[in-house]
Structure 1
Amino acid sequence: MNTFHNEAEAGQIGSTVLMPGDPLRAKYIAEHYLTDVFCYNRVRGMNGYTGYYNGKKVSVQGSGMGVPSMGIYSYELFNHYQADTIIRIGTAGAVHRDVEVGQVIFAMGCCTNSNYTAQYHLPGSFAPIADYELLEQAVQAARAQHIPYKVGNVFCSDVFYEDSPGEKGLWEKMGVLVQEMETLSLYCNAARAGKRALSLLTVGSSMHHGGALTNEERETRLDAMIRCALSLVS
């Protein structure tokens, strides 16, 4: 069952997997929220853990940064380890002026500058979207937990440091809320495998407003989003 990137054995990974980009965040979630935890993967430092939340088996696996890295790990989870549901729990930068640092964004759809979908040889442009049932449940959970949130379109970019300053601001004109780097390949892999996916994103910075989460806060201060994601585990 081992792959090039995951040393888990058959049955060690739950049907629902939470995927932060940072493997240290995966470790934090496993240690603070799950019981009976064991680490099933340490390949390339991209740790993965399985445990129980309210009696339900769940796994937490780092994805790394960028469309290709998320593409590799989510593909293997969907197609080699029989994961049915992957919930990304990441951070993003606000491109829309109505989005505040600290809010949670539910990615209903995903725009991109990536060429990832070219592999499918489709006669047009594919529009990656979230699983509606997961999205609806996440919104209900956020309301019940009084978590500030917005639902909408996100921009998944292959580029963090843009050569032409201000490019990301153009997406605001189309109502895009935030920029991040992993949702595209997750949603595409889920669609191709006939599985479920949803991206939850905590806004860590904004091009319009001051203040940003520190590196430490990005590892450990995203608990509202984490609790919301864990409430979706079935």
Structure 2
Amino acid sequence: MSQARQYHIGLSAADIGGALDVLLPGDPGRVADLARALDDQAYALGQNREYCSWLAHVDGRPVLVCSSGLGAPSTAVAVEELANIGIKRFIRVGTTGAIQPYIDFADIVISKAAVRLEGTSRHYAPLAYPAVASFSLTQRLVAAAERLGVPHHVGITASSDTFWPGQERYDSHSGYVRRAFQGSLAEWRALGVANFEMEAAALFTVCATFGLDAACICGVIARRVDAEAVNHAAYPLAAERWQSILLEALREPV
């Protein structure tokens, strides 16, 4: 384990108090609320670039909350440097667009694996290598959701490098989607993929190649079966649900 302050995240092992767990929201603006939901005495460690970090304690155990930034490249940077300072378990926390008709706004999607539509994971392992979540860490999230009675779905996630063409969204600046992606939404739906987001595949792949545990929990704020637009009104309930699941899961003895 490195004692040096890490270049991108701006943290050292001394800062995180022996934490082995990190929660990784993409948005730096979500870090404080998530940390305080775990611990009303949580405090900020700092911010460098897109990486905002807070430290919380759950039943006396330190838990780091650190934003990963948007997309796979910045997520991989976070994993590399957090692993350097001793983090062993990584949970991505974020929002997502559901592509199955049975998934509703503010439902929770817990990913068991991810389709590697992004490019970052290919720098760590060939495409034949599966992007699979840690079974034990994922099961802790599922068990917590079941105990709390939170509406949730366990499924395969598609991770895209882009918000628009890679997810076959037509509400972009140009409205154009390359032929390679036209029809892809219907295909992934037919193959049973639950949702689109932008980080899980890289997180799962990088962590697996490092021998670390990774999981992903997301709240639904878009239903692609109905429309492409994000439903901002769904966010508060989605956040409340993932916060309750995470707190319940983190209270379990490891």
Tell me the TM-score normalised to structure 1 length.
0.90
**Partner of residue 44, structure 1:** 49
Q: 1:103 to 1:228 in 2, by over 3 A?
A: same
Q: 1:54 Cα shift? A: 2.6
**Partner of residue 31, structure 1:** 36
Aligned-residue identity in percent: 23
Q: What's the CA shift string for 1:135-174, capped at 9, x where partnerless?
A: 2221111111010011110100012111245532321010
**Partner of residue 116, structure 1:** 120
Inter-partner Cα distance in structure 1 for 2:230 and 2:121 = 32
Inter-partner Cα distance in structure 2 for 1:58 and 1:101 = 28
Number of residue equivalences:
231
Inter-partner Cα distance in structure 2 for 1:220 and 1:71 = 29
The one-letter code of the counterpart of 2:189 is: E
Is 1:94 the equivalent of 2:98?
yes
1:67 to 61, 65, 72: 72
Q: 1:35 Cα shift? A: 4.2
Give the alignment of 1:1-234 within 5 angstroms: 1-13=4-16, 14-78=19-83, 80-120=84-124, 122=126, 125-162=128-165, 163-164=177-178, 166-209=183-226, 212-214=230-232, 218=235, 222-233=239-250, 234=254
Inter-partner Cα distance in structure 1 for 2:71 and 2:186 = 20
Q: 1:179 Cα shift? A: 0.2
* Structure 2: gaps (5+ residues): 166-176
Tell me the TM-score normalised to structure 2 length.
0.83
Q: What's the CA shift string for 1:194-225, capped at 9, x where partnerless?
A: 110100011110111368531x8647850211
Aligned alpha-carbon RMSD (Å):
2.1
Inter-partner Cα distance in structure 1 for 2:21 and 2:87 = 6
